[in-house]
Structure 1
Protein backbone atom coordinates (compact mmCIF):
# COMPACT_ATOMS: atom_id res chain seq x y z
CA UNK A 1 0.00 0.00 0.00
CA UNK A 2 1.33 3.38 -0.92
CA UNK A 3 0.95 6.44 1.27
CA UNK A 4 -1.92 7.84 -0.76
CA UNK A 5 -3.96 4.63 -0.73
CA UNK A 6 -5.41 4.46 2.80
CA UNK A 7 -9.20 4.50 2.63
CA UNK A 8 -10.73 5.35 5.99
CA UNK A 9 -14.31 4.86 7.16
CA UNK A 10 -15.40 6.48 10.42
CA UNK A 11 -18.29 5.40 12.66
CA UNK A 12 -19.81 8.00 14.99
CA UNK A 13 -22.76 8.53 17.30
CA UNK A 14 -22.22 12.06 18.59
CA UNK A 15 -20.55 15.40 18.04
CA UNK A 16 -17.60 13.99 16.13
CA UNK A 17 -14.75 15.90 17.79
CA UNK A 18 -12.31 13.06 17.11
CA UNK A 19 -13.62 12.89 13.55
CA UNK A 20 -12.81 16.60 13.25
CA UNK A 21 -9.29 15.99 14.51
CA UNK A 22 -8.82 13.39 11.78
CA UNK A 23 -10.33 15.65 9.11
CA UNK A 24 -7.99 18.46 10.15
CA UNK A 25 -4.96 16.18 10.09
CA UNK A 26 -5.84 14.91 6.61
CA UNK A 27 -6.44 18.44 5.33
CA UNK A 28 -3.08 19.50 6.76
CA UNK A 29 -1.25 16.68 5.01
CA UNK A 30 -0.42 14.85 8.24
CA UNK A 31 -2.29 11.67 7.26
CA UNK A 32 -1.77 10.13 3.86
CA UNK A 33 -5.26 8.93 3.08
CA UNK A 34 -8.84 10.08 2.92
CA UNK A 35 -12.11 9.48 4.72
CA UNK A 36 -14.39 7.78 2.22
CA UNK A 37 -17.51 7.51 4.39
CA UNK A 38 -18.84 8.58 7.78
CA UNK A 39 -21.67 6.44 9.14
CA UNK A 40 -23.75 7.21 12.22
CA UNK A 41 -26.41 5.22 14.02
CA UNK A 42 -28.01 8.54 15.06
CA UNK A 43 -29.46 11.01 12.55
CA UNK A 44 -28.88 13.91 14.98
CA UNK A 45 -25.16 13.23 15.40
CA UNK A 46 -23.29 16.51 15.04
CA UNK A 47 -20.35 14.78 13.42
CA UNK A 48 -22.39 14.25 10.27
CA UNK A 49 -22.38 17.98 9.58
CA UNK A 50 -18.62 18.12 10.23
CA UNK A 51 -18.16 15.44 7.57
CA UNK A 52 -20.45 17.18 5.08
CA UNK A 53 -18.60 20.46 5.48
CA UNK A 54 -15.41 18.60 4.61
CA UNK A 55 -16.99 17.07 1.51
CA UNK A 56 -17.12 13.56 2.96
CA UNK A 57 -20.03 11.27 2.11
CA UNK A 58 -22.25 10.46 5.09
CA UNK A 59 -24.85 7.86 5.87
CA UNK A 60 -27.29 7.28 8.72
CA UNK A 61 -28.01 3.68 9.67
CA UNK A 62 -30.39 3.80 12.67
CA UNK A 63 -29.95 0.83 14.96
CA UNK A 64 -33.63 1.03 15.93
CA UNK A 65 -34.57 -0.13 12.45
CA UNK A 66 -33.13 -3.59 13.09
CA UNK A 67 -34.42 -6.34 15.39
CA UNK A 68 -31.10 -7.22 17.03
CA UNK A 69 -27.42 -6.40 17.20
CA UNK A 70 -26.32 -9.08 14.76
CA UNK A 71 -28.75 -7.97 12.06
CA UNK A 72 -27.73 -4.35 12.47
CA UNK A 73 -24.04 -5.19 12.37
CA UNK A 74 -24.50 -7.27 9.22
CA UNK A 75 -26.15 -4.27 7.54
CA UNK A 76 -23.39 -1.98 8.81
CA UNK A 77 -20.70 -4.30 7.48
CA UNK A 78 -22.44 -4.42 4.11
CA UNK A 79 -22.52 -0.61 3.94
CA UNK A 80 -18.85 -0.38 4.85
CA UNK A 81 -17.91 -2.96 2.25
CA UNK A 82 -19.38 -0.76 -0.50
CA UNK A 83 -16.51 1.69 0.07
CA UNK A 84 -13.76 -0.94 0.62
CA UNK A 85 -12.14 0.65 3.69
CA UNK A 86 -8.57 -0.19 4.61
CA UNK A 87 -9.25 1.13 8.11
CA UNK A 88 -12.45 1.51 10.13
CA UNK A 89 -12.17 4.11 12.89
CA UNK A 90 -14.57 4.11 15.82
CA UNK A 91 -14.86 7.75 16.90
CA UNK A 92 -17.46 7.87 19.63
CA UNK A 93 -19.57 5.08 18.11
CA UNK A 94 -21.75 4.15 21.09
CA UNK A 95 -22.51 0.59 20.12
CA UNK A 96 -21.03 -2.68 21.35
CA UNK A 97 -20.16 -4.51 18.16
CA UNK A 98 -20.98 -8.16 17.64
CA UNK A 99 -18.23 -10.76 17.39
CA UNK A 100 -19.07 -11.37 13.74
CA UNK A 101 -18.59 -7.71 12.83
CA UNK A 102 -15.32 -7.44 14.73
CA UNK A 103 -13.94 -10.59 13.17
CA UNK A 104 -14.88 -9.36 9.68
CA UNK A 105 -12.77 -6.21 10.15
CA UNK A 106 -10.18 -7.45 12.61
CA UNK A 107 -6.78 -5.92 12.04
CA UNK A 108 -8.32 -2.86 10.39
CA UNK A 109 -10.70 -1.77 13.14
CA UNK A 110 -9.47 0.69 15.79
CA UNK A 111 -11.03 2.50 18.73
CA UNK A 112 -10.05 5.23 21.18
CA UNK A 113 -10.90 4.64 24.83
CA UNK A 114 -10.76 7.26 27.61
CA UNK A 115 -8.49 5.44 30.04
CA UNK A 116 -5.00 4.02 30.21
CA UNK A 117 -5.97 0.48 29.30
CA UNK A 118 -6.15 -2.13 30.67
CA UNK A 119 -7.50 0.09 33.46
CA UNK A 120 -11.19 0.98 33.40
CA UNK A 121 -12.66 -0.86 30.49
CA UNK A 122 -16.24 0.13 29.78
CA UNK A 123 -18.00 3.31 30.88
CA UNK A 124 -17.52 6.10 33.45
CA UNK A 125 -13.75 5.94 33.22
CA UNK A 126 -13.06 9.44 34.54
CA UNK A 127 -15.17 9.02 37.66
CA UNK A 128 -13.60 5.62 38.31
CA UNK A 129 -10.09 7.02 37.99
CA UNK A 130 -10.94 9.76 40.50
CA UNK A 131 -12.58 7.33 42.90
CA UNK A 132 -9.45 5.16 42.81
CA UNK A 133 -7.23 8.13 43.61
CA UNK A 134 -5.20 7.75 40.43
CA UNK A 135 -2.46 10.30 39.91
CA UNK A 136 -2.36 9.67 36.15
CA UNK A 137 -5.11 9.24 33.59
CA UNK A 138 -5.43 9.39 29.83
CA UNK A 139 -6.58 7.59 26.72
CA UNK A 140 -5.63 4.61 24.58
CA UNK A 141 -5.97 3.72 20.90
CA UNK A 142 -6.33 -0.02 20.40
CA UNK A 143 -7.23 -2.60 17.81
CA UNK A 144 -10.73 -3.94 18.41
CA UNK A 145 -11.26 -7.60 19.27
CA UNK A 146 -14.49 -9.29 20.38
CA UNK A 147 -13.77 -8.73 24.09
CA UNK A 148 -14.79 -5.19 25.14
CA UNK A 149 -11.90 -2.70 25.26
CA UNK A 150 -9.45 -5.60 25.45
CA UNK A 151 -7.69 -5.38 22.09
CA UNK A 152 -3.96 -4.78 21.82
CA UNK A 153 -3.06 -1.17 22.58
CA UNK A 154 -1.23 0.78 19.87
CA UNK A 155 -0.41 3.95 21.80
CA UNK A 156 -1.54 5.99 24.79
CA UNK A 157 -1.50 9.56 26.02
CA UNK A 158 -1.43 10.54 29.68
CA UNK A 159 -1.79 13.55 31.93
CA UNK A 160 -1.58 14.15 35.68
CA UNK A 161 -4.79 14.13 37.69
CA UNK A 162 -5.32 17.39 39.58
CA UNK A 163 -6.69 17.49 43.11
CA UNK A 164 -9.40 19.84 41.84
CA UNK A 165 -10.46 17.59 38.94
CA UNK A 166 -14.05 16.46 38.58
CA UNK A 167 -15.21 13.77 36.15
CA UNK A 168 -16.28 16.58 33.82
CA UNK A 169 -13.00 18.50 33.93
CA UNK A 170 -11.02 15.30 33.52
CA UNK A 171 -13.14 14.33 30.53
CA UNK A 172 -12.45 17.70 28.91
CA UNK A 173 -8.71 17.45 29.49
CA UNK A 174 -8.51 13.86 28.25
CA UNK A 175 -10.48 14.73 25.13
CA UNK A 176 -7.74 17.20 24.21
CA UNK A 177 -5.29 14.30 24.39
CA UNK A 178 -7.56 12.18 22.21
CA UNK A 179 -7.44 14.82 19.49
CA UNK A 180 -3.65 14.53 19.44
CA UNK A 181 -3.35 10.77 19.81
CA UNK A 182 -5.90 9.49 17.30
CA UNK A 183 -4.49 11.34 14.27
CA UNK A 184 -0.99 10.25 15.25
CA UNK A 185 -1.93 6.57 15.33
CA UNK A 186 -3.91 6.79 12.08
CA UNK A 187 -0.88 8.44 10.49
CA UNK A 188 1.31 5.55 11.62
CA UNK A 189 -1.16 3.09 10.09
CA UNK A 190 -1.34 5.10 6.84
CA UNK A 191 2.44 5.15 6.66
CA UNK A 192 2.62 1.37 7.12
CA UNK A 193 4.40 1.69 10.46
CA UNK A 194 1.72 -0.06 12.55
CA UNK A 195 -0.09 -3.35 12.00
CA UNK A 196 -1.62 -6.13 14.05
CA UNK A 197 0.06 -9.49 13.50
CA UNK A 198 -0.84 -12.68 15.33
CA UNK A 199 -2.82 -10.65 17.83
CA UNK A 200 0.02 -8.26 18.66
CA UNK A 201 0.78 -4.69 17.65
CA UNK A 202 3.90 -4.29 15.55
CA UNK A 203 5.53 -0.87 15.20
CA UNK A 204 8.15 -0.52 12.47
CA UNK A 205 8.13 -4.30 12.06
CA UNK A 206 8.80 -5.12 15.70
CA UNK A 207 6.24 -6.40 18.25
CA UNK A 208 5.57 -3.87 20.98
CA UNK A 209 6.46 -4.91 24.51
CA UNK A 210 4.51 -1.90 25.77
CA UNK A 211 2.66 0.84 23.90
CA UNK A 212 4.35 4.23 23.45
CA UNK A 213 2.82 6.93 25.64
CA UNK A 214 2.60 10.66 24.94
CA UNK A 215 2.67 12.80 28.06
CA UNK A 216 0.83 16.09 28.21
CA UNK A 217 2.61 17.88 31.00
CA UNK A 218 0.06 19.79 33.07
CA UNK A 219 -2.58 21.25 30.74
Structure 2
Protein backbone atom coordinates (compact mmCIF):
# COMPACT_ATOMS: atom_id res chain seq x y z
CA UNK A 1 0.00 0.00 0.00
CA UNK A 2 1.25 3.49 -0.84
CA UNK A 3 -0.14 6.56 0.90
CA UNK A 4 0.18 10.30 0.30
CA UNK A 5 0.39 12.34 3.51
CA UNK A 6 -0.55 16.00 3.03
CA UNK A 7 0.51 17.77 6.22
CA UNK A 8 2.33 21.07 6.76
CA UNK A 9 3.69 20.23 10.21
CA UNK A 10 6.97 18.53 9.22
CA UNK A 11 7.59 16.74 12.51
CA UNK A 12 4.10 15.26 12.55
CA UNK A 13 4.28 14.32 8.87
CA UNK A 14 7.65 12.60 9.30
CA UNK A 15 6.49 10.79 12.44
CA UNK A 16 3.42 9.48 10.63
CA UNK A 17 5.50 8.46 7.61
CA UNK A 18 8.02 6.61 9.76
CA UNK A 19 5.24 4.93 11.74
CA UNK A 20 3.48 3.77 8.58
CA UNK A 21 6.71 2.35 7.23
CA UNK A 22 6.91 0.15 10.33
CA UNK A 23 3.51 -1.21 9.27
CA UNK A 24 4.77 -1.98 5.74
CA UNK A 25 2.93 1.03 4.31
CA UNK A 26 4.95 3.24 1.95
CA UNK A 27 4.25 6.94 2.40
CA UNK A 28 5.17 10.18 0.64
CA UNK A 29 4.85 13.64 2.19
CA UNK A 30 3.50 16.86 0.73
CA UNK A 31 3.79 19.97 2.90
CA UNK A 32 1.44 22.12 0.81
CA UNK A 33 -1.37 21.85 -1.68
CA UNK A 34 0.72 22.50 -4.79
CA UNK A 35 3.16 19.71 -3.91
CA UNK A 36 0.26 17.38 -3.17
CA UNK A 37 -1.33 18.01 -6.56
CA UNK A 38 2.02 17.50 -8.28
CA UNK A 39 2.67 14.18 -6.54
CA UNK A 40 -0.86 13.00 -7.30
CA UNK A 41 -0.29 13.77 -10.98
CA UNK A 42 2.86 11.65 -11.28
CA UNK A 43 2.43 8.85 -8.74
CA UNK A 44 -0.16 6.16 -8.10
CA UNK A 45 -1.51 6.17 -4.53
CA UNK A 46 -3.87 3.80 -2.76
CA UNK A 47 -4.94 6.36 -0.15
CA UNK A 48 -4.58 10.04 0.70
CA UNK A 49 -4.35 11.53 4.20
CA UNK A 50 -5.21 15.23 3.97
CA UNK A 51 -4.81 18.00 6.50
CA UNK A 52 -7.46 20.58 5.58
CA UNK A 53 -5.46 23.62 6.69
CA UNK A 54 -2.32 23.69 4.51
CA UNK A 55 -0.50 26.38 2.47
CA UNK A 56 -1.48 26.89 -1.16
CA UNK A 57 -4.53 24.98 -2.36
CA UNK A 58 -6.28 23.77 0.80
CA UNK A 59 -6.86 20.17 1.78
CA UNK A 60 -10.43 20.65 0.60
CA UNK A 61 -9.15 21.77 -2.81
CA UNK A 62 -6.88 18.74 -3.03
CA UNK A 63 -9.80 16.49 -2.08
CA UNK A 64 -11.96 18.04 -4.81
CA UNK A 65 -9.17 17.46 -7.32
CA UNK A 66 -8.88 13.79 -6.32
CA UNK A 67 -12.64 13.30 -6.66
CA UNK A 68 -12.72 15.12 -10.01
CA UNK A 69 -9.90 12.97 -11.37
CA UNK A 70 -12.02 9.85 -11.03
CA UNK A 71 -9.10 7.93 -9.56
CA UNK A 72 -11.22 6.61 -6.71
CA UNK A 73 -8.46 7.21 -4.18
CA UNK A 74 -10.04 7.07 -0.69
CA UNK A 75 -9.49 10.24 1.36
CA UNK A 76 -8.94 10.44 5.10
CA UNK A 77 -9.21 13.97 6.45
CA UNK A 78 -6.76 14.74 9.23
CA UNK A 79 -7.51 17.94 11.11
CA UNK A 80 -7.71 19.72 14.44
CA UNK A 81 -11.30 20.77 13.69
CA UNK A 82 -13.69 18.41 15.46
CA UNK A 83 -16.99 20.22 15.04
CA UNK A 84 -19.75 18.22 13.38
CA UNK A 85 -20.28 20.95 10.77
CA UNK A 86 -16.60 20.79 9.79
CA UNK A 87 -16.78 17.02 9.42
CA UNK A 88 -20.01 17.26 7.43
CA UNK A 89 -18.34 19.68 5.02
CA UNK A 90 -15.39 17.33 4.60
CA UNK A 91 -17.64 14.39 3.81
CA UNK A 92 -19.61 16.47 1.32
CA UNK A 93 -16.37 17.37 -0.47
CA UNK A 94 -15.43 13.72 -0.81
CA UNK A 95 -13.73 12.54 2.38
CA UNK A 96 -14.23 8.86 3.17
CA UNK A 97 -13.15 9.09 6.81
CA UNK A 98 -12.14 11.65 9.41
CA UNK A 99 -9.52 11.61 12.16
CA UNK A 100 -9.12 14.48 14.62
CA UNK A 101 -5.77 15.59 16.01
CA UNK A 102 -4.23 14.50 18.30
CA UNK A 103 -4.56 10.85 17.34
CA UNK A 104 -2.91 7.51 17.95
CA UNK A 105 -0.87 6.14 15.06
CA UNK A 106 -2.43 2.73 15.58
CA UNK A 107 -5.88 4.17 14.96
CA UNK A 108 -4.66 5.82 11.76
CA UNK A 109 -3.23 2.50 10.55
CA UNK A 110 -6.49 0.67 11.31
CA UNK A 111 -8.53 3.30 9.49
CA UNK A 112 -6.23 3.24 6.46
CA UNK A 113 -6.40 -0.54 6.21
CA UNK A 114 -10.19 -0.43 6.55
CA UNK A 115 -10.41 2.15 3.76
CA UNK A 116 -8.14 0.06 1.56
CA UNK A 117 -10.30 -3.00 2.17
CA UNK A 118 -13.46 -1.11 1.21
CA UNK A 119 -11.71 0.28 -1.87
CA UNK A 120 -11.07 -3.23 -3.12
CA UNK A 121 -14.34 -4.92 -2.25
CA UNK A 122 -13.81 -7.47 -5.00
CA UNK A 123 -10.64 -8.61 -3.31
CA UNK A 124 -11.17 -10.95 -0.35
CA UNK A 125 -9.76 -9.66 2.96
CA UNK A 126 -7.45 -12.70 3.06
CA UNK A 127 -5.59 -13.33 -0.20
CA UNK A 128 -4.85 -16.87 -1.34
CA UNK A 129 -2.89 -18.17 -4.31
CA UNK A 130 -0.96 -21.37 -5.00
CA UNK A 131 -1.16 -22.61 -1.40
CA UNK A 132 -0.14 -19.19 -0.07
CA UNK A 133 -2.40 -17.39 2.40
CA UNK A 134 -1.76 -13.70 3.10
CA UNK A 135 -3.70 -11.70 5.67
CA UNK A 136 -3.00 -7.96 5.13
CA UNK A 137 -4.57 -6.90 8.41
CA UNK A 138 -2.86 -9.37 10.71
CA UNK A 139 0.27 -9.19 8.54
CA UNK A 140 0.51 -12.97 8.54
CA UNK A 141 1.60 -15.32 5.78
CA UNK A 142 1.08 -19.07 5.64
CA UNK A 143 2.25 -21.50 2.98
CA UNK A 144 0.47 -24.86 2.96
CA UNK A 145 -0.50 -24.20 6.57
CA UNK A 146 3.04 -23.29 7.66
CA UNK A 147 3.57 -19.84 9.15
CA UNK A 148 6.20 -17.82 7.27
CA UNK A 149 7.96 -15.02 9.17
CA UNK A 150 8.70 -12.06 6.88
CA UNK A 151 10.32 -8.68 7.30
CA UNK A 152 8.15 -5.61 6.73
CA UNK A 153 9.59 -5.02 3.27
CA UNK A 154 9.27 -8.67 2.25
CA UNK A 155 5.64 -8.61 3.32
CA UNK A 156 4.97 -5.41 1.37
CA UNK A 157 6.53 -6.89 -1.80
CA UNK A 158 4.63 -10.15 -1.41
CA UNK A 159 1.35 -8.29 -0.92
CA UNK A 160 1.85 -6.44 -4.22
CA UNK A 161 2.68 -9.67 -6.06
CA UNK A 162 -0.26 -11.61 -4.62
CA UNK A 163 -2.61 -8.69 -5.28
CA UNK A 164 -1.62 -8.83 -8.96
CA UNK A 165 -3.43 -12.16 -9.20
CA UNK A 166 -0.72 -13.94 -11.16
CA UNK A 167 0.04 -10.95 -13.40
CA UNK A 168 3.56 -9.70 -13.98
CA UNK A 169 4.72 -6.83 -11.76
CA UNK A 170 7.74 -4.85 -12.91
CA UNK A 171 10.59 -3.85 -10.62
CA UNK A 172 9.53 -0.23 -11.13
CA UNK A 173 6.00 -1.03 -9.95
CA UNK A 174 7.36 -2.81 -6.88
CA UNK A 175 9.52 0.22 -6.08
CA UNK A 176 6.48 2.45 -6.46
CA UNK A 177 4.11 0.36 -4.36
CA UNK A 178 6.39 -1.14 -1.67
CA UNK A 179 8.91 1.67 -1.25
CA UNK A 180 8.28 5.41 -1.69
CA UNK A 181 9.34 8.42 -3.76
CA UNK A 182 12.80 8.42 -2.15
CA UNK A 183 13.64 4.98 -3.53
CA UNK A 184 16.55 4.95 -5.97
CA UNK A 185 15.25 3.61 -9.33
CA UNK A 186 18.70 2.20 -10.05
CA UNK A 187 18.97 0.30 -6.78
CA UNK A 188 19.07 -3.49 -6.63
CA UNK A 189 16.81 -3.46 -3.55
CA UNK A 190 13.95 -5.12 -5.45
CA UNK A 191 16.10 -7.98 -6.70
CA UNK A 192 17.62 -8.56 -3.28
CA UNK A 193 14.25 -8.42 -1.50
CA UNK A 194 12.60 -10.79 -4.00
CA UNK A 195 15.53 -13.21 -3.68
CA UNK A 196 15.32 -13.26 0.12
CA UNK A 197 11.53 -13.55 -0.06
CA UNK A 198 11.80 -16.63 -2.28
CA UNK A 199 14.05 -18.29 0.28
CA UNK A 200 11.68 -17.44 3.15
CA UNK A 201 8.74 -18.96 1.28
CA UNK A 202 10.75 -22.10 0.52
CA UNK A 203 10.64 -24.64 -2.29
CA UNK A 204 9.10 -25.21 -4.72
CA UNK A 205 9.67 -21.55 -5.60
CA UNK A 206 6.52 -19.42 -5.85
CA UNK A 207 7.99 -16.26 -7.39
CA UNK A 208 8.92 -16.40 -11.05
CA UNK A 209 11.28 -13.95 -12.69
CA UNK A 210 10.09 -12.92 -16.14
CA UNK A 211 13.35 -11.79 -17.84
CA UNK A 212 13.29 -8.15 -18.87
CA UNK A 213 9.73 -7.69 -17.55
CA UNK A 214 9.42 -8.32 -13.83
CA UNK A 215 8.05 -10.88 -11.40
CA UNK A 216 4.90 -12.87 -10.91
CA UNK A 217 3.63 -15.36 -8.39
CA UNK A 218 2.20 -18.77 -9.16
CA UNK A 219 2.44 -22.50 -8.58
CA UNK A 220 4.60 -22.95 -11.69
CA UNK A 221 7.25 -20.47 -10.60
CA UNK A 222 10.70 -21.96 -10.70
CA UNK A 223 13.04 -19.01 -10.14
Q: Which has the larger radius of gyration?
A: 2
Classify the TM-score, shorter chain. 0.3 to 0.5
Instruction: Tell me the TM-score normalised to structure 1 length.
Output: 0.34
**As a proportion of its length, which structure holds more strand?**
1
More helix by proportion, 1 or 2? 2
Q: TM-score, normalised by structure 2?
A: 0.34
